[in-house]
């Protein structure tokens, strides 16, 4: 409850000579917010905050992020510890239930994930009707939204059915993602196996073939677990806020998540991982001259930006990028790609940028997307599937945030206000009297 965190401190606001006292809310990690819930009623004013740079839309028990210190914790656990010691499914349980699972809880979840891993045969026909070059993110978003038609019983009492609904979604999104790749390649669908773990099953559905059986590589499976863990939640980012906002209208979980997938696809958000690899490939194809790209990124007259650099919240470093960079060499070796020239270019680009005044002044560091594409590529995942991988990882976070939003006693439909700046009242002009303006 928001009111449980109201402190004794007050902020003072003076408007037209009148002073208003505003409560201050303090979170468990000491973060402060001015409570403006009664601002408009008491003062007639609203706040303007484009891009919501200073706006807290909720309180949340899920993820703590300190952008200045480069800290990211899920439910109090540092992501470095989780990435080192857990599987993705353990972390999904942690996010959605609030605590790490016991062995029995984990086994139960694994059983549910296996049980739900098929998708309805009628849904499989949908894949036949997307055009050949349809972006996988739009296929994913459409397919996830259509799940609510196949499992309508899940939408009536969402919290009663939460465990079921969440396991179903986490399991099926993996099958949908792999199937959309197989279809795009014109290859037969590969069904999930009951004896494989979550990540192994995904790789099996992606890459197994009757003429070239997929051989499970432990290091690759561990790397995939790590990547998905590092993407699993990131508090109120663009796609998560979308999930919460859409869900606040009380629409079902599948539709809310589908909207989040759409938001994630943009190049300023999850789409950046694809943009990074395309940028590195371009630099490589042009002879590896990375310095020219750093100069272009600094040029105000050039719209080019260094993809995978900068972050709205992290201003010292992105802790996820550090873990991923450290994993790169190991994965490249495991997949027979050590010496990948793109990794060399990425490291050089990072080094040059980090010593450059432009990047230092603006606190621009490599973000999670800068190195993740190199690992995905080494695993064999094509670049147009990178953002789908981000969505697979982010799903448990979206689900946890949706549940928290649904259950929040302070929750209301999301409905920002605006300041109108258009024409004031005009006389209506009949069509025959109108002149072109």
Which residues are catalytic, by number? 311, 369
The site that binds ligand CMC (CB under 6 A) totals a number of residues, namely 19
Rounded to a whole number of angstroms, the minimum distance from the CB of residue 377 to ligand CMC is 17
The conformation of residue 366, written as its DSSP 8-state character, comes to: B
Q: In whole angstroms, how large is the CA radius of gyration of the chain?
A: 24
Stretch 136-165 residues interacting with ligand CMC (CB under 6 A): none
Minimal distance, residue 391 CB to ligand CMC, in Å: 11
Instruction: Please identify, among the stretches 99-107, 181-189, 268-276, 419-427, the one whose residues bind ligand CMC according to the rule CB under 6 A.
Output: 268-276
- Does 270 engage in binding with ligand CMC (CB under 6 A)? yes
- Could you tell me the smallest distance in angstroms from the CB atom of residue 436 to ligand CMC? 37
Instruction: Scan residues 335-394 and list those touching ligand CMC (CB under 6 A).
Output: 362, 364, 367-369
Secondary structure letter of residue 356 according to DSSP = S
Cα distance between residue 404 and residue 243, in whole Å: 11
CB of 237 to ligand CMC, least distance (A): 5
CB 259 within 8 A of CB 242: yes
Nearer to ligand CMC, 184 or 236 (CB): 236
* Options 259, 306, 332, 400; binder of ligand CMC; rule CB under 6 A: 306
Question: What is the nearest approach in angstroms of ligand CMC to the Cβ of residue 281?
Answer: 16
From the list 308, 373, 393, 397, which residue makes contact with ligand CMC (rule: CB under 6 A)? 308
Name which position in 62, 72, 243, 272 contacts ligand CMC (CB under 6 A): 272
What residues contact residue 84 under an 8 Å CB cut-off, 6+ apart? none
**3-state DSSP assignment of residue 425:** coil
Cβ closest to ligand CMC, residue 147 vs residue 227: 227
State the angle between helix axes of 341-354 and 272-285 in degrees (0 to 180), rounded to the nearest 10. Answer: 100
- C-alpha distances in Å from residue 239, one per residue of 198, 255, 402: 24, 13, 11
CA distances from 34 to 48, 55, 210, 289 (A): 14, 10, 61, 48
Nearer to ligand CMC, 308 or 396 (CB): 308
Beta strands 63-66 and 71-74: pairing type? Answer: antiparallel
CB of 6 to ligand CMC, least distance (A): 30
- Cα dihedral sign for 247, 250, 253, 254? negative
Binding range to ligand CMC, per CB under 6 A, among 13-21, 150-158, 266-274, 413-421? 266-274
- Taking the complex as a whole, the smallest distance from the CB of residue 16 to ligand CMC amounts, in Å, to 33
Nearer to ligand CMC, 159 or 268 (CB): 268
Is residue 305 part of the contact set for ligand CMC (CB under 6 A)? Answer: yes
Q: Map residues 180-219 to x or -, x wherever contact with ligand CMC holds by CB under 6 A.
A: ----------------------------------------
Please give the Cα distance from 411 to 427 (Å, whole number).
Answer: 41
Minimum distance between the CB of residue 90 and ligand CMC, rounded to whole angstroms? 23
Closest Cα to residue 282, out of 307, 302, 309, 311?
307
Using the minimum distance from each CB to ligand CMC, give the nearer residue, 47 or 52. Answer: 52
**Binding window for ligand CMC (CB under 6 A); candidates: 40-48, 156-164, 263-271, 326-334:** 263-271
- Closest listed residue to residue 245, CA positions, set 391, 412, 390, 35: 412
For residue 310, state whether it binds ligand CMC (rule: CB under 6 A).
yes
Contacts for 172 with CB less than 8 Å, ≥ 6 apart: 116, 117, 119, 147
63 binding ligand CMC? (CB under 6 A)? no
Closer CB to ligand CMC, 284 or 296, in the complex: 296
- Backbone CA torsion sign across 26, 27, 29, 34: negative
Stretch that binds ligand CMC, among 121-129, 168-176, 310-318, 427-435 (CB under 6 A): 310-318
Query: How far apart are alpha carbons 238 and 234 in whole angstroms?
Result: 10
Q: Which residues contact 173 (CB under 8 A, 6 or more apart)?
A: 140, 144, 391, 392, 395
* Binding-site member from 312, 316, 360, 410 for ligand CMC (CB under 6 A): 312
Closest CA to 75 of 99, 56, 58, 57: 99
Site residues, ligand CMC (CB under 6 A)? 237, 268-270, 272, 297, 305-312, 362, 364, 367-369
């Amino acid at each position: 409850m928001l009111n449980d965190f109201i402190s004794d401190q007050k902020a003072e606001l003076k408007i037209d000579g009148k002073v208003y006292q505003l409560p201050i809310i303090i979170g468990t990690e000491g973060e402060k917010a001015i409570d403006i819930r009664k601002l408009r009623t008491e003062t007639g004013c609203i706040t303007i905050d484009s891009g919501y740079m200073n706006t807290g839309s909720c309180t949340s028990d899920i993820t703590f992020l300190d952008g200045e210190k480069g800290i990211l914790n899920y439910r109090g656990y540092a992501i470095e510890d989780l990435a080192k010691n857990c599987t993705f499914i353990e972390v999904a349980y942690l996010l959605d239930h609030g605590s790490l699972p016991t062995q029995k809880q984990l086994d139960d979840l694994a059983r549910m994930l296996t049980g739900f891993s098929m998708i309805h045969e009628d849904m499989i026909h949908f894949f036949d009707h997307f055009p050949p070059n349809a972006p996988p993110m739009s296929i994913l978003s459409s397919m996830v939204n259509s799940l609510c038609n196949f499992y309508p019983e899940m939408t009536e009492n969402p919290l009663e059915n939460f465990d079921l609904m969440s396991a179903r979604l986490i399991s099926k999104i993996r099958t949908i993602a792999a199937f959309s790749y197989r279809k795009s390649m014109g290859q037969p669908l590969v069904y999930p196996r009951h004896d494989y773990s979550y990540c192994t099953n995904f790789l099996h559905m992606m890459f197994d073939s009757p003429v070239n059986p997929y051989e499970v590589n432990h290091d690759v499976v561990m790397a995939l677990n790590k990547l998905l863990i590092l993407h699993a939640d990131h508090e109120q980012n663009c796609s998560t806020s979308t999930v919460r906002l859409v869900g606040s209208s009380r629409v079902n979980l599948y539709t809310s998540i589908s909207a989040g997938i759409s938001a994630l696809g943009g190049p300023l958000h999850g789409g950046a991982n694809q943009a990074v690899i395309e940028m590195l490939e371009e630099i490589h194809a042009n002879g590896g001259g990375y310095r020219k790209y750093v100069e272009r990124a600094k040029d105000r007259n050039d719209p080019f930006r260094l993809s995978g650099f900068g972050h709205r919240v992290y201003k010292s470093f992105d802790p996820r990028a550090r873990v991923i960079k450290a994993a790169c060499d190991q994965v490249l070796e495991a997949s027979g790609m050590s010496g990948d020239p793109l990794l060399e270019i990425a490291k050089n680009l990072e080094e040059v940028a980090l010593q450059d005044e432009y990047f230092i002044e603006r606190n621009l560091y490599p973000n999670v997307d800068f190195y993740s594409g190199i690992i995905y590529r080494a695993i064999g995942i094509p670049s147009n599937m990178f953002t789908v991988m981000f969505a697979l990882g982010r799903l448990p976070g979206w689900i946890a945030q949706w549940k928290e939003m649904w259950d929040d006693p302070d929750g209301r439909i999301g409905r920002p206000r605006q300041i109108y700046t258009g024409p004031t009242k005009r006389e209506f002009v009949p069509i025959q009297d109108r002149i072109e303006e």
